[in-house]
């Protein structure tokens, strides 16, 4: 549904009309596919109408493709539903399907739903109504939509023919009637839109011919559905279109038309026009056979000749327009008008008569092509006079006709004709006759019952007297029939369906009324004959003969002149016709040019109007967008207020501004706050004692109700158990009885099963044998194909090996060339590698020499630093008083930097530094080592004094006694209890190596103001050599500590 809604929005957008059809067509096809899947017929119709308005003037083919795709998808869905029903319920005959719903357009009422729910339907009927009927409705709605969209289009008439096929396939008679009415209304309304580009122009022969084809198929469908009234109305439509057409319809179409009309008239018991239709059909077939000379069609012509003669003989005597003796003036006029309209449908100038149809058949030599039985039938009815034996002579012929399904329908009307002939011939011989005698003469042995023949005779006499065909009186008191003869009464005039009244019947003697009526005519005839014998010169007969001879002689003289005059007149008429056609063509061309000019002007006006409307719509769109933005802003504010608990009337929202909404919010919040305060106050004051009392009282009642419910459940369970046991015992008894009854038929069942198994086994063996033969044939064919395939593969393999050998030779040559190239490249790479290795060795040797030089310089620097440190220590030892001071200093350790002892040691060690001549910073004093320095005469290896200097990292050295545990114990015992804490071994200075030595020589300091070789304050130790907590310089109390 979301996808369908999204595509529907495309059709309602403003860019829809300006989008190319190549882009719109796939979108519309997908849209129709979704509509079919969801059975949204109304939505599909709206989309097709909008697409037709866009594509009608540009590409009618696109409209045709889209509609055909829509109908094809609908038909596929119906086919799938039918296949689903067949899969679930099995396949049945087509005649039993499609009769569940009388009218597909009728809405389903609650009564019909209830009736279908309680009615005893078969499973297939219910499944059919559930699965197939909705798709039948949708497909019919699809056809109605397509016809409605294409009602003014002259190029897409095939949809109506597909709709006819739908009605015929599914036996939809109600829908076929609606379809016929729709096509008539569309044809009538199409004349109002002749000014459109693709309108229906019935003056176009091709368009008219297509409409005729559609109406002929409509007639065929109506006949097959046995809708005779619709078939007759369709025949009238065909007659109207034929009258409008300038070209004659095809002979095959007219033959089909006359054939269908003969069936329609036969169903309507109108044998007069039924015979006339067969006469027309016979004429077309005879003309086609005469032109083609095909002997195969001659057999069909003989069959049609029999039908023509039988239908003409079966026309009842006395049917048609009533005589003046019985008919009223108004009724006679209506009957003549009806006969004239029916005659016009068959292309007849006047209403046919029975005598005329028979004479027409005789003139076409029908008697030569029919069987001897039919010739005997014609002689009995039309030639011979035998009132006493007519039924006995004609009964064998009727019996043979009744055996043939195509001629059996003529037996009943032929019996009526025989009865009419019997009364006409009896009236000439008898004045009165017993009813029993007449019944005996009119009875056929095949009828069997005398009462049936008596009723038939009385009914015929009544109808004939009413029409005025005969004057007969039935005297029931004497049981006789009297043939009345009024000497001065009015004779029955000729009727449309008789040959010439009673004169067509062979007469033995004239009746008294005939003699009296023709007395003056016979007297005049006798007088003329007498005068001609007595005096031929003055006889009117001689005068008439002379006048006739003179007229013929004069006519012979004027023949040539009349011929020339006629030829000239024909030429003049032909020329006038040509001039009229030219004038008409010129007029039509001028009208077409004028129509094109008007259409162009209208198109320009429409374009201008559309441009103005587009401009107005754009301005309106901008205005609406501005209003929409304002409304959206107000709506957002309102939504925020609603979320915050404010009650806002959304209908009055467009009238409010943002400030008004904020003010409303403030008022609502204040009101809600006030209400909440009042409610909370009321809630705090309320004490719900009543509810507590209710719950306290219902505790014992709940226990009692639970016990009662348990008792009821136990009783119901026991009753259910008893009923179940009784039902099982009854079912067991019935099963035993059924087993005993079925045991009687068990031998027959086994015999029948054995016979079926044998037949099935025989069929299986036969089928297996046939399949084995097919398998052997298939194997032989497969062997032949395999051998041919192997031969082809061998030839292909030889070709491939040849090509492979050539390819390998080429590859070997290329490999040899590549190997030579690689060898040359390897030699070049070896030379380059050797040169590179020499350069690397030379660079490595230079690097080693440079490294040795640096190491030597570093060792020299270290030795110089150590020598300087040794000299400073010796100088310091001399200044402090010799070895005792050194021992005490070694025992107590170095002074803590920043203390009074440390400053005194520095003052005694060296005078105040003064800048050197070079402006360099003086070197810092190095604290004395814990181990006494060796004498000047001792040689100290460099490695013993420099391990700590080589460490790049590590904690700074701490002042303390000795380097081992014996020295530390001695120092601790000498210093007393204050130095009981152990001190860690001396550590190397924080900065060592080349960087430290270089900075010492330059007198540089660290960023914190310390010398590179000094330990920071946090790394100091106690006088006993143990670690102490770091104390900032500002908080130190040197006098108390020392």
**Same CATH fold, 380-517 and 151-193+204-249?**
no
Q: Which residues pair with 481 in a beta bridge?
A: 433, 474
Instruction: Assess whether pLDDT exceeds 80 at residue 254.
Output: yes
Lowest pLDDT segment from 171-185, 419-433, 506-520, 675-689:
506-520
Q: Where are the domains of the chain?
A: 1-92+124-146, 151-193+204-249, 254-319+341-370, 380-517, 705-737, 867-910+922-1003+1018-1025
Lowest pLDDT segment from 412-421, 571-580, 643-652:
643-652
DSSP letter string, 277-294: HHHHHHHHHHHHHHHH--
727 half-sphere exposure, CB direction, 13 A CA radius: 6
What confidence tens digit (pLDDT) does each residue in 541-555 have?
Answer: 777 778 888 888 888
What confidence tens digit (pLDDT) does each residue in 797-842 have?
Answer: 999 999 999 999 999 999 999 999 999 999 999 999 998 999 999 9
Average pLDDT over residues 484-489: 60
Calpha distance 35→267 (Å, rounded): 44
pLDDT given for residue 227 in this prediction: 80
Tokens of 1041: 């500590």
Highest mean pLDDT among 24-28, 337-341, 675-679, 732-736: 732-736
Average pLDDT over residues 174-194: 76
When comparing pLDDT for 433 and 935, which is higher? Answer: 433
For residue 477, the 8-state DSSP code is T
Q: Between β-strands 432-434 and 472-475, what pairing exists: parallel, antiparallel or unpaired?
A: unpaired
% of the chain beyond a pLDDT of 70: 67
Mark 912-950 as b/e (b = at least 16 C-beta within 10 Å): eeeeeeeeeeeebbbbbbbeebeeeeeeeeeeebbeebe
Assess contact for 278 and 304: CB atoms under 8 A.
Answer: yes
Average pLDDT over residues 109-116: 58
Assess contact for 201 and 155: CB atoms under 8 A.
Answer: no
Instruction: Assess whether pLDDT exceeds 90 at residue 777.
Output: yes
Q: Which of 243, 94, 238, 280 is nearest to 169 (CA)?
A: 94
Average pLDDT over residues 336-359: 82
Residue 425 parent element (H or E) = helix 411-429
Instruction: Assess whether pLDDT exceeds 80 at residue 748.
Output: yes
Residues 6+ apart with CB under 8 A from 201: 154, 194, 207
Calpha distance 798→293 (Å, rounded): 66
Assess contact for 278 and 363: CB atoms under 8 A.
Answer: no
Instruction: Assess whether pLDDT exceeds 60 at residue 975.
Output: no
Residue 433 parent element (H or E) = strand 432-434
Assess contact for 263 and 281: CB atoms under 8 A.
Answer: no
Average pLDDT over residues 153-179: 76
pLDDT given for residue 2 in this prediction: 65
Cα Rg, the chain, nearest whole Å? 66
Instruction: Assess whether pLDDT exceeds 60 at residue 24.
Output: yes
pLDDT given for residue 1038 in this prediction: 46
Q: Which residues pair with 500 in a beta bridge?
A: 502
Tokens of 503: 């004169």
Calpha distance 313→373 (Å, rounded): 13
Q: Which of 133, 208, 130 is nearest to 175 (CA)?
A: 133
CA 424 centroid distance within chain = 71
pLDDT given for residue 899 in this prediction: 57
Instruction: Assess whether pLDDT exceeds 80 at residue 120.
Output: no
Assess contact for 402 and 447: CB atoms under 8 A.
Answer: no
Q: Which phi and psi angles does 474 have, rounded to 5°?
A: -100, 120
Q: Report CA dihedral (389, 391, 394, 397) to the nearest 10 degrees.
A: -140
Average pLDDT over residues 369-373: 87
**Residue 483 in 3-state DSSP?**
strand
Highest mean pLDDT among 316-325, 334-343, 773-782: 773-782
Instruction: Assess whether pLDDT exceeds 50 at residue 733.
Output: yes
Mark 521-560 as b/e (b = at least 16 C-beta within 10 Å): eeeeeeeeeeeeeeeeeebeeeeeeeeeeeeeeeeeeeee
Where does the pLDDT of residue 295 fall: very low under 50, low under 70, confident under 90, or very high at 90 and above? low
Calpha distance 241→243 (Å, rounded): 5
pLDDT given for residue 925 in this prediction: 42
The residue with tokens 């009687």 is 744
When comparing pLDDT for 427 and 921, which is higher? Answer: 427
The residue with tokens 């068990």 is 746
CA 681 centroid distance within chain = 67
Instruction: Assess whether pLDDT exceeds 70 at residue 194.
Output: no
When comparing pLDDT for 486 and 474, which is higher? Answer: 474
Assess contact for 634 and 621: CB atoms under 8 A.
Answer: no
Instruction: Assess whether pLDDT exceeds 90 at residue 486.
Output: no
pLDDT given for residue 404 in this prediction: 85
pLDDT given for residue 46 in this prediction: 77
**Residue 1036 in 3-state DSSP?**
coil
Lowest pLDDT segment from 125-139, 619-633, 931-945, 961-975:
931-945
Calpha distance 482→471 (Å, rounded): 9
pLDDT given for residue 645 in this prediction: 60
When comparing pLDDT for 912 and 692, which is higher? Answer: 692
Q: Between β-strands 472-475 and 480-483, what pairing exists: parallel, antiparallel or unpaired?
A: antiparallel
Q: Which residues pair with 1027 in a beta bridge?
A: 1021
pLDDT given for residue 542 in this prediction: 75
- HEC string of 232-249 equals HHHHHHHHHHHHHCCCCC
Average pLDDT over residues 25-48: 78
pLDDT given for residue 856 in this prediction: 92
Highest mean pLDDT among 439-443, 709-713, 898-902, 1017-1021: 709-713
When comparing pLDDT for 255 and 992, which is higher? Answer: 255
Assess contact for 441 and 430: CB atoms under 8 A.
Answer: no
Calpha distance 487→7 (Å, rounded): 90
User: Length of the chain, please?
Assistant: 1042
The span from the first CA to the last CA of the chain, in angstroms, equals: 98
Average pLDDT over residues 425-452: 75
Largest Cα span, the chain = 218
Q: Which residues pair with 473 in a beta bridge?
A: 482
Q: Which of 77, 10, 79, 81 is nearest to 43 (CA)?
A: 10
CA distances from 997 to 297, 934, 959, 994 (A): 137, 21, 20, 5
pLDDT given for residue 948 in this prediction: 40
Highest mean pLDDT among 92-106, 309-323, 887-901, 941-955: 309-323
Instruction: Assess whether pLDDT exceeds 70 at residue 432.
Output: yes
Highest mean pLDDT among 7-16, 230-239, 757-766, 984-993: 757-766
Note the CATH number of domain 380-517.
1.25.40
Instruction: Assess whether pLDDT exceeds 70 at residue 324.
Output: no
Inter-helix orientation angle 390-403/411-429, to 10°:
170
Assess contact for 400 and 310: CB atoms under 8 A.
Answer: no
1009: left (phi over 0), alpha (psi -120 to 50) or beta: left
When comparing pLDDT for 43 and 717, which is higher? Answer: 717
pLDDT given for residue 239 in this prediction: 76
Instruction: Assess whether pLDDT exceeds 90 at residue 783.
Output: yes
Average pLDDT over residues 1001-1030: 44
Average pLDDT over residues 94-123: 53
Average pLDDT over residues 287-304: 74
Q: Between β-strands 432-434 and 480-483, what pairing exists: parallel, antiparallel or unpaired?
A: antiparallel
Where does the pLDDT of residue 327 fall: very low under 50, low under 70, confident under 90, or very high at 90 and above? very low
Instruction: Assess whether pLDDT exceeds 60 at residue 1024.
Output: no
Calpha distance 868→859 (Å, rounded): 14
CATH of 151-193+204-249, one of 3.90.1210.10, 3.40.50.2300, 2.60.60.20, 4.10.860.10: 4.10.860.10
**Residue 990 in 3-state DSSP?**
coil
Tokens of 440: 């005996």
Burial of 74 (0-12, 13-18, 19+ CB in 10 A): buried
pTM for the structure as a whole: 0.48
CA geometry: angle at 819 spanning 815 and 821, to 5°?
Answer: 115
Assess contact for 381 and 313: CB atoms under 8 A.
Answer: yes
Tokens of 17: 């009309």
pLDDT given for residue 758 in this prediction: 93
Calpha distance 522→501 (Å, rounded): 20
pLDDT, mean over the chain: 74
The residue with tokens 């033969």 is 773
% of the chain beyond a pLDDT of 90: 12
Where does the pLDDT of residue 793 fall: very low under 50, low under 70, confident under 90, or very high at 90 and above? very high
Q: Which residues pair with 433 in a beta bridge?
A: 481
Highest mean pLDDT among 296-300, 400-404, 900-904, 941-945: 400-404
What confidence tens digit (pLDDT) does each residue in 562-589 have?
Answer: 888 888 898 899 889 889 888 888 888 8
């Amino acid at each position: 549904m979301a996808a369908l809604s999204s595509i529907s929005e495309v059709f309602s957008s403003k860019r829809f009309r300006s989008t190319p059809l190549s882009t719109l067509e796939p979108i519309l096809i997908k849209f129709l596919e979704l509509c079919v899947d969801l059975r949204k017929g109304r939505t599909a119709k709206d989309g097709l109408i909008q697409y037709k308005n866009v594509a009608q003037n540009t590409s009618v083919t696109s409209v045709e493709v889209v509609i055909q795709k829509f109908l094809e998808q609908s038909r596929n869905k119906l086919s799938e539903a039918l296949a689903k029903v067949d899969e679930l319920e099995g396949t049945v005959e087509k005649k039993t399907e499609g009769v569940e719903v009388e009218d597909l357009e009728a809405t389903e009422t609650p009564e019909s739903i209830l009736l279908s729910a309680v009615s005893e339907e078969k499973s297939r009927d219910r499944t059919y109504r559930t699965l197939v009927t909705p798709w039948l409705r949708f497909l019919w709605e699809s056809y109605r939509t397509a016809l409605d969209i294409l009602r003014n289009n002259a190029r897409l008439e095939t949809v109506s023919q597909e709709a006819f096929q739908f009605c015929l396939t599914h036996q939809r008679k109600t829908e076929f009637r609606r379809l016929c009415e729709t096509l008539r209304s569309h044809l009538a309304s199409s004349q109002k839109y002749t000014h459109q580009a693709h309108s229906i122009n019935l003056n176009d022969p091709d368009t008219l011919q297509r409409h005729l084809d559609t109406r002929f198929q409509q007639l065929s469908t109506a006949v097959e559905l046995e809708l005779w009234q619709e078939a007759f109305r369709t025949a009238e439509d065909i007659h109207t279109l034929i009258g409008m057409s300038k070209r004659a319809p095809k002979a095959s179409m007219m033959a089909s038309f006359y054939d269908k009309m003969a069936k329609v008239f036969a169903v309507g018991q109108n044998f007069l026009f039924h015979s006339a239709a067969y006469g027309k059909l016979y004429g077309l077939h005879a003309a086609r056979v005469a032109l083609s000379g095909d002997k195969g069609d001659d057999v069909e012509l003989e069959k049609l000749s029999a039908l023509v003669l039988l239908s003409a003989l079966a026309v009842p005597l006395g049917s048609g327009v009533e005589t003046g003796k019985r008919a009223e003036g108004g009724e006679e006029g209506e009957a003549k008008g009806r006969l004239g309209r029916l005659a016009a449908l068959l292309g007849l100038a006047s209403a046919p008569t029975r005598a005329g149809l028979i004479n027409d058949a005789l003139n076409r030599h029908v008697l030569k092509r029919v069987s001897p039985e039919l010739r005997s039938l014609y002689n009995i009815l039309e030639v011979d006079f035998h009132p006493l034996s007519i039924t006995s002579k004609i009964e064998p012929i009727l019996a043979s006709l009744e055996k043939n399904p195509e001629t059996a329908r003529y037996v009943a009307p032929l019996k009526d004709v025989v009865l009419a002939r019997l009364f006409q011939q009896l009236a000439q011989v008898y004045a009165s006759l017993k009813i029993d005698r007449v019944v005996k003469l009119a009875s056929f042995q095949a009828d069997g019952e005398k009462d049936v023949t008596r009723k038939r005779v009385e009914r015929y006499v009544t109808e004939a007297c009413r029409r005025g065909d005969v004057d007969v009186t039935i005297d029931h008191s004497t049981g006789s029939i009297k043939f009345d003869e009024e000497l001065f009464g009015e004779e029955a005039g000729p009727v449309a369906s008789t040959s010439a009244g009673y004169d067509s019947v062979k007469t033995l003697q004239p009746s008294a009324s005939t003699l009296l009526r023709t007395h003056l005519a016979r007297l005049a005839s006798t007088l003329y004959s007498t005068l001609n014998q007595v005096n031929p010169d003055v006889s009117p007969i001689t005068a008439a003969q002379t006048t006739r001879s003179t007229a013929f002689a004069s006519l012979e003289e004027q023949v040539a002149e009349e011929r020339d005059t006629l030829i000239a007149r024909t030429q003049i008429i032909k020329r006038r016709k040509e001039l009229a056609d030219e004038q008409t063509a010129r007029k039509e061309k001028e009208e077409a040019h004028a129509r094109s000019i008007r259409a162009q002007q209208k198109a320009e006006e429409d374009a201008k109007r559309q441009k103005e409307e587009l401009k107005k719509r754009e301005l309106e769109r901008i205005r609406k967008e501005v209003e929409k933005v304002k409304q959206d802003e107000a709506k957002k504010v309102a939504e925020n207020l609603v979320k915050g608990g404010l009650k806002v009337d959304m209908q009055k929202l467009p009238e409010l501004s943002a400030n008004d909404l904020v003010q409303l919010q403030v008022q609502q919040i204040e009101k809600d706050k006030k209400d909440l305060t009042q409610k909370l106050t009321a809630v705090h004051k309320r004490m719900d004692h009543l509810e507590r009392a209710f719950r306290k009282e219902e505790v014992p009642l709940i226990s009692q109700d639970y016990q009662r419910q348990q008792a009821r459940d136990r009783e119901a369970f026991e009753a259910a158990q008893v009923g179940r046991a009784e039902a099982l015992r009854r079912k067991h008894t019935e099963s035993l009885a059924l087993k005993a009854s079925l045991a009687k038929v068990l031998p027959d069942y086994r015999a029948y099963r054995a016979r079926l198994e044998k037949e099935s086994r025989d069929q299986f063996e036969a089928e297996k044998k046939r399949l084995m033969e097919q398998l052997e044939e298939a194997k032989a064919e497969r062997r032949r194909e395999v051998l041919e395939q192997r031969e082809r593969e061998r030839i292909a393999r030889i070709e491939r090996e040849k090509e492979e050998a050539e390819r390998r030779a080429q590859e070997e040559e290329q490999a040899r060339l590549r190997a030579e190239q690689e060898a040359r490249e390897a030699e070049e790479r070896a030379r380059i590698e050797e040169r590179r290795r020499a350069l690397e060795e030379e660079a490595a040797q230079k690097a080693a020499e440079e490294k040795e030089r640096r190491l030597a310089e570093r060792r020299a620097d270290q030795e110089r630093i150590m020598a300087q440190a040794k000299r400073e220590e010796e100088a310091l030892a001399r200044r402090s008083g010799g070895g005792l001071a050194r021992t005490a200093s070694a025992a107590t350790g170095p002074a803590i930097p920043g203390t009074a002892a440390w400053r005194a040691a520095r003052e005694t060690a060296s005078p105040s530094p003064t800048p050197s001549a070079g402006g360099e910073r003086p070197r810092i004093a190095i604290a004395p080592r814990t181990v006494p320095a060796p004498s000047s005469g001792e040689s100290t290896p460099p490695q013993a004094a420099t391990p700590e200097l080589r460490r790049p990292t590590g904690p700074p050295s701490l002042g303390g006694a000795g380097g081992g545990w014996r020295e530390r114990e001695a120092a601790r015992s000498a210093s007393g209890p204050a130095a009981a804490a152990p001190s860690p071994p001396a550590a190397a200075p924080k900065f060592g190596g080349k960087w430290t030595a270089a900075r010492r020589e330059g007198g540089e300091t660290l960023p914190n103001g310390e010398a590179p070789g000094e330990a920071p304050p946090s790394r100091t130790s106690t006088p006993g050599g143990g670690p102490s907590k770091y104390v900032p310089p500002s908080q130190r109390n040197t006098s108390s500590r020392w």
